[in-house]
Amino acid sequence: MEKVVLITGAAQGLGRALSKEFLAKGWYVIATDIDDLSMAWMLDHKAAWVINMDVTSDGSVNSAFTRLSNAHIVLDLIINNAGIDCYFPLSEAPVDQFMQVFEINVFGGYRVNQTFLPIVRKPGGRIVHISSESLNLTMPFMPYPLSKKLVESYAKVLRIELHFSGI
């Protein structure tokens, strides 16, 4: 039986590269993104399922979960890759602009994990969060490293919590 991976932010960049690599290694790839047109190259691949999913929307994530759950999919791996990098003065930017970075980079993964946890293989399932070497940078105009610092801390705590369930 082939292994199954769900990848968020799979339309471009690292998410697209991860999708190609997992397909090449024989995994079944569930590629999710808000830009599903950029994932059209996977539509003809028998081991890929392209799903439009916005990690900032409970409804969108729940809809994707329902589709997978109804298809009796069990996930071996979740890769929380969806993310944005913006540059703006933290001292002047509207709160909404600052919150958007955290909504996608932090709470998106949190939302996906909470929603999809019931269909992650136990024991043996894995959850990966894509962080950044920039997390230790303290630079003006960059909320991205701040969000990735929180992602790293969250991932460490989640690992401890889920250890006892075999994930």
Q: Which residues partner with 6 through β-bridges?
A: 30, 78
Residue in 14, 28, 109 with CA at minimum distance from that of residue 76: 28
Active site residue 144: yes
CA distance linking residue 118 with residue 88, whole number of Å: 38
Q: How many CA atoms lie less than 13 Å away from 150 in the CB half-sphere?
A: 14
> Residue 28 carries which DSSP code?
E
Catalytic residue among 28, 87, 110, 144: 144
Contacts of 10 (CB under 8 A, 6+ apart): 16, 18, 19, 29, 31, 32, 33, 39, 81
Within 10 angstroms of residue 143's Cβ, the number of other Cβ atoms is: 21
Catalytic residue set: 144
